[in-house]
Structure 1
Amino acid sequence: MTLNPSTLRCTTCTTPLLKKTYSGTLGNMSALTCHACKASFPIKNGVPHFLETRAPERAQLETVDGACMVAGYRRPNPLMHALRRVVSSEYFPGKSWRAAKTRTLENPGTKLILGSGVTRYLDAVHLDLDDFPGVDIVGDAHVLPFVDDVFSGLVCEVVLEHVADPKRVIAESFRVLQPGGLAFFIVPFLFPFHGHPSDFQRWSREGLAREFEAFEDVEVGIHGGPCSSMVNLLSEWGYVMSGLRFPRGYTLIKGGLTGLLFPIKFMDLLVNRFPEAHRLASTLFIIATKPQT
């Protein structure tokens, strides 16, 4: 999606940015420049970059887990992608979370997708740590490069556990949403460690609701239920007990066991309705509204 420079602000001093083109021996180079603190943010292949190459957040992409994630985004395998949509322990059946996500994405206006990877949505700006295919802006979710009250909706799926300061990311999400805007997040509860590129946090139903106390009309529900948890935990247990190392051993053991166990997760279509299902939920979703005043 084409970005309007007037919606962007300096991540150093929060001043609105100006787009400038410089001529030199290397040709014309575009950048976003702050007239207040003189900070400059390059535009590469049409994508503004608000993170330096050696920024700590970008450095995470060079870990073993981070490199595997980047390789999957840069060189996707269509067959593996299709299989993961059904077989993978990352795919969850259920109607409630899908309805909440659809409601957010269909809210009129421009949406922001945090940690988008290679996922694309209509009428949306896609932000991630690197310029993966489909990313509109490279930036840090802790310091969003947008002015206040820009977006009608915000979607952040299984990303919040990977940031160092979730409270700050939620506060930034609140800031850039328009009054009446919707925020939709998915976070893990009983979900194994997954460093893509790092992994810091887990939330219960009550803990997640507290994180969004500045919002109103807060609804927390089950994304992946107890049966999904069992698929994840048993397949991960098998990998740990194998004594093999990441990533090849993980792919072999975790992938093989998931292929055997994955039908169990579809029982969540029934079990998620049980009153105590949240006690063993794999992942939770939340949808919340920014107050009008």
Structure 2
Amino acid sequence: MAPSVEKPAGLCLSERLAAILACPDCRCGLDVDVPEAVLVCPSCGRHYRTTPDGTPVLFARDSEFREREAAFCDVATGSKEVAPSKRLLSVRRLPRTTPYRLTKHAYEQAMQALPEGMILNLGSGMRRPDREPERWINLDIRPSANCDIVSDAHWLPFQDNVLSSVVSANVFEYLRDPFQTAAEVKRVLQPGGTVYINVAFILPLSTPDYHDRFRFTRRGLLSLFGDLDILDIGPSSGPVMALSMVLDRLLDTAVPGRLPAYAMRWGTAWALQPLKYLDPWILRRDRQELAAAGFYLVARKPA
């Protein structure tokens, strides 16, 4: 049973979470400084501040985001609204077929088989399920309303063998060193803990701020997590979805004018929408990996 940790004013931190946090540099458990509302490493002496909303900011000294630590500690987060000028171009007017649709069954099976304990959502892209939301920890590189911890995936701020599961969707594509992050995931997982990873293979570059670095095949995923017990692995998205995303990006960048580009994107997206339902059928065929646009993996750390 996790030890009880007093929750100070100014720190948005549950007792269960505070008990498993660690310094990202020396991996020593962190103490809570109640008067200062900061986390302190008793080994190396580092002090970790929080955002105005009480979210801990835990960057390793070698993290490329360390220079933003002070700025992040001054960012108040809350519900984000779409600016009025962007509402017309939002996905509300375009069909929504995402890379996750084809893996919904595999994802739900993985969630049902999660062992007891804390679950790390690496990247904060997935919302907490309605069932047992207190078990979920959302981690991202910048503060947001959906984030519990601001940190770098290359140096996870957790003690060894403390998490029951790690879930990550479309994050490894943006990492500086996915092998280092995979090693960190395996370090913080308990023996018998599970990992669910979804990655892109064919996907247009996202906005420049995200700094795309990698794309992954099935063998690429296995190079990261092949030393675990593989429970399931396969394609997560198909060629028609990839084609629609590439065409969407082409029209958005090549057609002059904001409204003409949107009109072309709207027409193309809805014209291709019926064809996207071919993807599950295509990906059930014998040579499915040759047509895959993304892959997922479910694995377990040996007990």
**Aligned counterpart, 2:198:** 186
Cα distance in 2 for residues equivalent to 1:74 and 1:264: 33
Q: Is the 8 A contact 1:111 1:153 kept in 2?
A: yes
Cα pair distance change 1:57/1:259, threshold 3 Å: farther
**Aligned counterpart, 1:93:** 101
1:250: how far off?
7.3
Other structure's SS at 2:58 match: coil
Q: Deviations over 1:212-264 (max 9, x none)?
A: 1221125321111122122122323333443679xx99766556533442332
Quick one: which of 280, 286, 296 aligns to 1:269?
280
- Residue-pair matches, total: 269
Write the letter of the residue equivalent to 1:264. L
Cα pair distance change 1:91/1:167, threshold 3 Å: closer
Q: Which runs of 5 or more structure 2 residues have no equivalent in the other structure? A: 1-12, 69-76
Q: TM-score, normalised by structure 1?
A: 0.80
Cα pair distance change 1:250/1:114, threshold 3 Å: farther
Q: How does 1:134-283 map to 2 (within 5 A)?
A: 134-195=146-207, 197-242=210-255, 254=265, 257-283=268-294
Cα distance in 2 for residues equivalent to 1:249 and 1:82: 16
Segment drifting more, 118-127 vs 37-46: 118-127
1:155: how far off?
0.6
**Aligned counterpart, 2:92:** 83
Q: TM-score, normalised by structure 2?
A: 0.77
Q: Deviations over 1:137-170 (max 9, x none)?
A: 1111100000011111111000110111111111
RMSD: 3.2
Cα distance in 2 for residues equivalent to 1:117 and 1:58: 22
Write the letter of the residue equivalent to 1:4. L
Cα distance in 2 for residues equivalent to 1:269 and 1:93: 9
Segment drifting more, 126-135 vs 191-200: 191-200
Cα distance in 2 for residues equivalent to 1:6 and 1:274: 47
Q: Is the 8 A contact 1:88 1:258 kept in 2?
A: no
Cα distance in 1 for residues equivalent to 2:261 and 2:174: 20
Q: Which runs of 5 or more structure 1 residues have no equivalent in the other structure? A: 23-28, 61-70
**Aligned counterpart, 1:285:** 296
Q: Quick one: percent identity of the two aligned structures?
A: 27
**Aligned counterpart, 1:36:** 43
Q: Is the 8 A contact 1:150 1:178 kept in 2?
A: yes
Write the letter of the residue equivalent to 1:136. D
1:93: how far off?
3.2
